[in-house]
Chains A and B, each alone.
Chain A
């Protein structure tokens, strides 16, 4: 339950987290009658987005860990192999 006379302390929202404007969790579909602790993070209606509020490979402040590889780094590590058909000098 919410604190008496207070607003719901849970984070609501679809696009970004914001305060819930409800006075009571009863009948609230966002937190399922107070069953969901963090409705913003635990939403399941964001299509393909799972862990919408998580940024893998980024620190708490959003900075990227310099030791992490990205997809772009992975591409740089692969040396393209010349195929026989591409080698015009071959007989």
Chain B
């Protein structure tokens, strides 16, 4: 599917419903758009350098020839150089700041390839331009004039029907704590820390798995996650399994997601045995 590059650059959101292969192609295309933005930023800096050199040459020539026109050109070239240099940092900054989210989305989608039909439609949403929501603000007593704010932002979500008929819904949220304070020299400082909240919901077909609550009660097994992650919730109902984890390191989000799925399917695979139904077919 062709992506509207202009729209993506202005909104920073990719949202679609398509087969996995098409989504992976789109994500690769988004990667190319980001590379294009990087190249354009470099071009802007080179243009700024060229304008600076032209300004210097005009200034020298203006001094030698005592020409007012050349002096005006030199001033204009300097202004242009500074403007281009500053703009090169502003242009595409919001998208590039969170370019790692693109890789995360690719990895999350890729990890499901082993258990979905080739033509199964995925619903995918990826937000590269950060739009965090302030959820709490309070004074931070540990520092002078201290204040802390808590933000949340759901930046990636996926929904797909797996080969066994289970509907997997996955969301990744970034939770940020921003602390602002005044240091002894009177300067305002701010520090931010991010955590990732991964939520998986598996709406399973009761015809195949029966009631997974029985399997969960029988199994009594903890869902495994990487050392930087903590399971926050495991809820099993007669229709779905919901499992949530808090992940400290960004690079562990994909592994945490896969391990949460594996943990949930330990329950479902046992439920299928208890229900006495055969495995899923493709």
- B269 pairs with A53, CB closer than 8 A: yes
Q: How far is the CB of A45 from chain B (nearest CB, A)?
A: 9
Residues of B within 8 A of A21 (CB): 117-118, 282
Assess the A70–B218 pair: CB atoms within 8 A: no
B219 proximal to A (CB < 8 A)? yes
Q: Does B279 have its Cβ within 8 Å of any Cβ on chain A?
A: yes
**Beyond A47-B224, A52-B262, A62-B215, is A18–B270 a contact (Cβ under 8 Å)?**
no
Give the dominant DSSP class at B's interface. Answer: helix
Contact check, B279 vs A11: say whether CB atoms are below 8 A apart.
yes
Query: Residue A15 at the B interface, CB < 8 A?
Result: yes
Contact B220 A72 (CB under 8 A): yes
Query: Within the assembled complex, what's the spacing in Å between the Cα atoms of A12 and B282?
Result: 10
Chain A 63-87, CB within 8 Å of chain B: the 1/0 string? Answer: 1100000101000000000000000
A85 to B262, CA, bound (A): 45
Interface size range on B against A: 20 to 34
Pairs A–B under 8 Å by Cβ, sample size 6? A13-B280, A16-B164, A17-B279, A47-B226, A63-B274, A64-B218
Known: A16-B279, A52-B266, A55-B219. A47 touches B274 (CB 8 A): no
A18 and B281 within 8 A (CB):
yes
Main SS at interface, chain A: loop
Least CB distance from B118 to A in Å reads 8
**Docked complex Cα distance between A86 and B163 (Å):** 57
Which residues of chain A are near B281, meaning CB under 8 Å? 18-19
Is A37 part of the contact surface with B, judged by Cβ < 8 Å?
A: no
Q: Are B279 and A18 in contact (CB under 8 A)?
A: yes
Q: Which residues of B contact A20 (CB under 8 A)?
A: 282
